[in-house]
Structure 1
Amino acid sequence: MRLGQADQATVSAAVAAAEARTNGEIVTVVAPRSDAYHDVALHWAVLAILGMLASLAAFPQVAERGWALVDPWATRSPTGGLLAVALVLVTATFLLARLLLAWMPLRLALTPGSTEARRVRRRAVELFRVAAERRTKARTGVLLYLSLAERRAEIVADEAIHSRVAPEVWGEAMTALLMATRDGRPGAGMAAAVERIGAVLAKHFPRTEDDLNELSDRLVEL
């Protein structure tokens, strides 16, 4: 899922319209995903190894049959041979798990929601510090961040806004964004969220005559 030129224009226009009513500045960022989740893939691979070891413990005849393929004339499977078979099976299990989990949709499907939420929030805060934090004279910057693969979003506000607006106030904007994104319309969702953010900012920071456009209205796609 990506945003096209029409989506870019729609979101940029929504930012310009929202900022026309407020001294606040809105920065919009869309990322394909917020993390590679390599650690999640490794954790599942380790669990697969443990599952294989548990299976061998419950069904030791599997290792014995494996050794029989190596030495079909043996009347008794040596301990070293059984351990070698176990090592081969464990290694194959690990490599297969890593191969399957290289497919990002599967990796994301196996990632706990709480982990996704933390990674998306962390990425949003990182981008906010680069793109918006303390980059406006009155500390009135807001970052709207959408992570497409996780279908999660974050709103991060600068000092002046954070001191006056409770986090739950952004709920309507988040709902509009996420519902549209799940319907395959991330551009429309971003525009709707920007409109609602603008309404909040206009209430607390109405536009004054000396207001300047301090941050770009353009949607940033990473």
Structure 2
Amino acid sequence: MSLLSPADHARVTAAVTAAEQRTAGEIVTAVAARSDAYHDAALHWAMLAMLAVPAAFAFWPDAALRLWGVVADGWGPAPAGAPYLVALVGSTVAFLLVRVLLAQMPLRMAVTPGATKTRRVRRQALALFRVGAERRTRGRTGVLLYLSLAERRAEIVADAAIHSRVDDAVWGEAMAALLTQVRAGRAADGLIAAIDRVAIVLAEHFPREADDVNELPDRLIEP
């Protein structure tokens, strides 16, 4: 299922085509549902919950015996290993419970640290850039505009010639325009706004030449 409507795809493609009339740079756009499944984040939280159980019993050692008494009421005195058995069962239950809860992607995304999301989005953008844009133009003037919807994060990755002339901080206005619209639920509008601002920067450093040809596809990619 497409993330954006056919009409939005057409609008973004048209925006790229129009932008490239002003510059020798080549703009590639991509939008993904998310950049990672974050299974490791879910596992880390489950392990933390598992370790929290014996840690709690270490602070309140009588709690394990009281819990055993509730569960095994009438079975006679607690055996010597009762606290350890209670801790083992409690740890297992805590681990499985958190794993089941975090099988739900919205909840998993909510508990994944923001820094982790940022790194994964950046990693995915770089991987896509290497495949779809890096060194694919004669002047090394490709630039990728990548949006990851679930994380509400974006990346702009530029080829060697652009990177040598344009500082990463320059893309801040384009990123702000994009993410403002994404947070309002208008991903296509955000991409179009960012494309326009990227084109302004590219036109300043890489104006369109008479013999310029379109070297990379203008269509929006959904990897």
TM-score (norm 1): 0.95
What does 1:1-222 correspond to in 2, within 5 Å? 2-68=3-69, 69-70=71-72, 72-75=74-77, 77-222=78-223
Q: Distance in 2 between matches of 1:79 and 1:200?
A: 73
Cα distance per residue 1:18-56 (max 9 Å; x no partner): 001111100000011111111111111111112211222
Q: Distance in 2 between matches of 1:99 and 1:56?
A: 24
Question: What SS class does the counterpart of residue 134 from structure 2 fall into?
Answer: coil
- The AA in structure 1 aligned to 2:6 is Q
Q: Distance in 2 between matches of 1:184 and 1:62?
A: 49
Q: Unaligned regions of 5+ residues in structure 2, if any?
A: none
CA contact (8 A) 2:3 2:222 kept: no
Question: What SS class does the counterpart of residue 81 from structure 2 fall into?
Answer: helix
Q: Distance in 2 between matches of 1:197 and 1:142?
A: 9
User: RMSD value over aligned CA atoms?
Assistant: 1.5
Q: Percent identity?
A: 63
Runs of 4+ that moved beyond 6 A: none
CA contact (8 A) 2:15 2:192 kept: yes
Q: Distance in 2 between matches of 1:193 and 1:51?
A: 45
Question: What SS class does the counterpart of residue 89 from structure 1 fall into?
Answer: helix
Question: What SS class does the counterpart of residue 156 from structure 2 fall into?
Answer: strand
- The AA in structure 1 aligned to 2:24 is N
Deviation of 1:71 after TM superposition, in Å, equals 6.0
Deviation of 1:151 after TM superposition, in Å, equals 0.2
Q: Distance in 1 between matches of 2:83 and 2:72?
A: 11
- The AA in structure 2 aligned to 1:74 is G
Q: Distance in 1 between matches of 2:29 and 2:118?
A: 19
Q: How many residues align?
A: 221
- The AA in structure 1 aligned to 2:180 is M
Q: Distance in 2 between matches of 1:219 and 1:160?
A: 23
Q: Distance in 1 between matches of 2:142 and 2:75?
A: 76
Deviation of 1:64 after TM superposition, in Å, equals 2.2
Q: Distance in 2 between matches of 1:107 and 1:98?
A: 10
